[in-house]
Structure 1
Amino acid sequence: MQRVTITLDDDLVSEIDAFMLSRGYNSRSEALRDLTRAGLNDLATPADPTRTCVGAVVYSFDHEKRELARRLAAVHHHHHDLSLATTHVHLDDNNCLEVTLLKGSVGEVQHFAEHLTAERGVRYGKLVIVPIDLPTEAAAVRHQIHGPHD
């Protein structure tokens, strides 16, 4: 194990200490190791951009921003073949949250999410990708005829 020295501002240290207390960590090192692993896992994506996946894009935005709702709808329409469903929630008078479920290749899903979250006025955006293995055509036909366990 290596010792690493970092400098953090007081507010961030307070947040780390609160996290430690709420989770029962005995040291900052333990907490920071877990937080670092979690952050690296969040940034990791499947290596093969052609692999099939499902994805969820969560984003918040100010619907009063000029033309933003129209631009977001245009992104959705441009990628209609990937979109499974979208849920729209009004958080307050101006702010909305949407969750869009997608299915397609990792590369296409990432591209869609990047377009959504890069729109001016989108305040927060996060993509979660779940790689899936689709059954072969023969297995799908067998499943339809005999059921899932034959």
Structure 2
Amino acid sequence: MALKRFGVSLEDDLLESLDNYVQENGFSNRSQAIRFLVEKNVAEQKWQCNHIVAGTTILMYDQKKKEIVSRITDIEQQYQDAVLSSSQYYINQNFCLHIVTVMGEAHRLTELSDRLIAIRGIKHGKLVMSRAD
């Protein structure tokens, strides 16, 4: 696919944020980062539809906080029609990696993931989806 060039004007603080984003995420240049962000936004907009998708939600949390596991289980049960599997991996004595494999309508999986990631004590959470229809 041919690349097209265009100019972008940004305020100093926004440009500095972009440069930090490029460096923190290992992009080779600003253009690559902007392409990634645009593609990500387009994909996320498509997720708000009723396409059938499959994916995973990845959560990282302090395993000593037992109430987190209880909250995750409660939410997963509310979405049992979409949850295919749920696994925990103990990374070390402090952290647990929790992976929820899901399939269903994109907007429902996004809703599920948002609820899981919003649990107090979740250190990191991310949803990855791909069309399955």
State if a TM-score over 0.5 links the two structures: yes
Q: Do the aligned partners of 2:117 and 2:124 also contact (CA within 8 Å) in 1?
A: yes
State the shift of 1:59 in Å: 1.4
Aligned length: 122
Instruction: After superposition, give the CA deviation of every residue in 1:77-96 in whole Å (9 maximum; x if it has no partner).
Output: 11111111123111111211
Instruction: After superposition, give the CA deviation of every residue in 1:58-112 in whole Å (9 maximum; x if it has no partner).
Output: 1111122251111111111111111111231111112111221101101111111
| Counterpart residue type for residue 83 of structure 1 | V
Secondary structure in 2 matching 1:67: helix
RMSD: 2.5
- Counterpart in the other structure of 1:16: 23
Based on CA coordinates, which of the two structures has the bigger radius of gyration? 1
Q: Residue 40 and residue 67 in structure 1: after superposition, are their counterparts in 2 closer, same or farther (change >3 A)?
A: same
- Counterpart in the other structure of 1:87: 87
Q: Residue 54 and residue 48 in structure 1: after superposition, are their counterparts in 2 closer, same or farther (change >3 A)?
A: same
- Counterpart in the other structure of 1:63: 63
Q: Residue 17 and residue 96 in structure 1: after superposition, are their counterparts in 2 closer, same or farther (change >3 A)?
A: closer
TM superposition score normalised by structure 2: 0.77
* Structure 2 unaligned blocks of 5 or more: 1-5
Q: In 2, Cα distance between the equivalents of 1:18 and 1:123?
A: 19
Instruction: After superposition, give the CA deviation of every residue in 1:93-140 in whole Å (9 maximum; x if it has no partner).
Output: 12111221101101111111011100001111111121122xxxxxxx
Q: Do the aligned partners of 2:47 and 2:107 also contact (CA within 8 Å) in 1?
A: no
Runs of 4+ in 1 over 4 A off after TM superposition: none
Q: Does 1:108 align with 2:82?
A: no
* Structure 1 unaligned blocks of 5 or more: 26-30, 134-150
Q: Do the aligned partners of 2:47 and 2:110 also contact (CA within 8 Å) in 1?
A: no
Please point out which of 16, 31, 34 is paired with 1:33. 31
- Counterpart in the other structure of 1:50: 50
Q: In 1, Cα distance between the equivalents of 2:118 and 2:84?
A: 21
Name the structure, 1 or 2, with higher relative contact order (CA <8 Å, separation 6+).
2
Q: In 1, Cα distance between the equivalents of 2:96 and 2:105?
A: 27
